[in-house]
Amino acid sequence: MSGFINRAFDFKGRCAVITGGGAGIGLACATLLAECGARVVLLDRDPAVEGVAASLGSEHLGVVADLRQLDQIQRAIDSVATRFGRIDFLINSAGVVFLDKALDVTEDAWDTTLDINLKASFFVAQACARHMIDQGKGRIVNLASQAAVVGLDQHVAYCASKAAVVGMTRVLAMEWAPHGITVNAISPTIVETALGRKAWAGERGELAKKQIPVGRFAQPEEVAALALYLLSDAAQMVTGENVVIDGGYSIQ
């Protein structure tokens, strides 16, 4: 393997913050980064996140935080910076979805979706970026969705939140590039996490797969591999992008 590749994918000693890291895509990202030598900090509202982080190794950390509370975000990120001395990477993976026809969406469902998918992603990024700016370098990856680029039935709040994540990503990339920070988004199709398999089981899932040219859903590890590239030094010239990983769904 070339020296460039070895250097570009050297994550040893670097610190990665991952929201929603206790399960699903966030956990897949954390596992891959830990395998590559990074120290990972998992932010999740589920207290089980502490045990999940410990299962990755003693050098990793699980932090219980409600990402709807800005004071908890700030305390969590500042504590990470104090403990590890730096924050190199952020993956905003925490998210929720409530399915309903647009005429039936409640205010609570709308506010919860936007608060977690968009507002929390921004304020976690803002808190991390303050430390990254002091370092002169950082990488941020926001999990968006194919729902950011196509309309999906019963997904109005989710589509709105993920489209906004892409717009936010572009502005942050533009403003923070002079400080050595790249900001990108990833937009997956349906991903076969534990929740994804349950939600899309049976005939409903088989019908959905038929709408995807490659004929299947994505695996969490595939999304994690893309995130790893965007965090690596091989992607230093990639910023402000929304990288779609949907098996061709949105090209039709």
Whether residue 167 has pLDDT greater than 60:
yes
- Each residue of 101-113: pLDDT tens digit? 999 999 999 999 9
The arithmetic mean of pLDDT across residues 47-56, rounded, is 96
pTM of the model: 0.96
DSSP H helical segments within 177-201, as ranges?
Answer: 194-199
Least confident window among 36-40, 57-61, 77-81, 200-204: 200-204
State phi, psi for 24 to the nearest 5 degrees: 60, -140
Is the distance from CB of 128 to CB of 95 less than 8 angstroms? Answer: no
Choose, from 84, 89, 122, 158, the residue flagged as catalytic.
Answer: 158
Alpha-carbon dihedral 131, 137, 143, 146, rounded to 10 degrees: 150
Q: Angle at which helices 70-84 and 120-135 pack, to 10 degrees?
A: 30
Is the distance from CB of 57 to CB of 252 less than 8 angstroms? Answer: no
- Each residue of 226-252: pLDDT tens digit? 999 999 999 999 999 999 999 999 998
The arithmetic mean of pLDDT across residues 148-166, rounded, is 96
Is the distance from CB of 151 to CB of 129 less than 8 angstroms? Answer: no
Whether residue 1 has pLDDT greater than 80:
no
Mean pLDDT, the chain, rounded, equals 96
The side-by-side arrangement of strands in the sheet containing 39-44 is: 61-64, 39-44, 15-19, 89-92, 138-143, 181-188, 242-245
Alpha-carbon distance of 40 to 211, in angstroms, equals: 36
Task: Report the SS3 class of residue 86.
Answer: coil
Whose structure tokens read 């409530």? 98
Two structure tokens written together for 226: 């893309």
- Percent helix, strand, coil in the chain, to 5, is 55, 15, 30
Task: Report the SS3 class of residue 88.
Answer: coil
The arithmetic mean of pLDDT across residues 136-142, rounded, is 98
158 a catalytic residue: yes
Q: Domain residue spans in the chain?
A: 3-244
DSSP H helical segments within 47-190, as ranges?
Answer: 49-56, 70-84, 107-114, 120-135, 156-176
- Each residue of 8-25: pLDDT tens digit? 899 999 999 999 999 999
Structure confidence at residue 6 (pLDDT):
86
Structure confidence at residue 195 (pLDDT):
81
Going by the DSSP 8-state scheme, the letter that residue 219 receives in this structure is P
Two structure tokens written together for 125: 């990024």
- Each residue of 169-218: pLDDT tens digit? 999 999 999 999 999 999 999 999 988 898 889 998 999 999 999 999 99
Is the distance from CB of 94 to CB of 67 less than 8 angstroms? Answer: yes
Structure confidence at residue 3 (pLDDT):
87
Q: Assess if CATH 3.40.50.720 describes domain 3-244.
A: yes
Whose structure tokens read 């050297």? 10
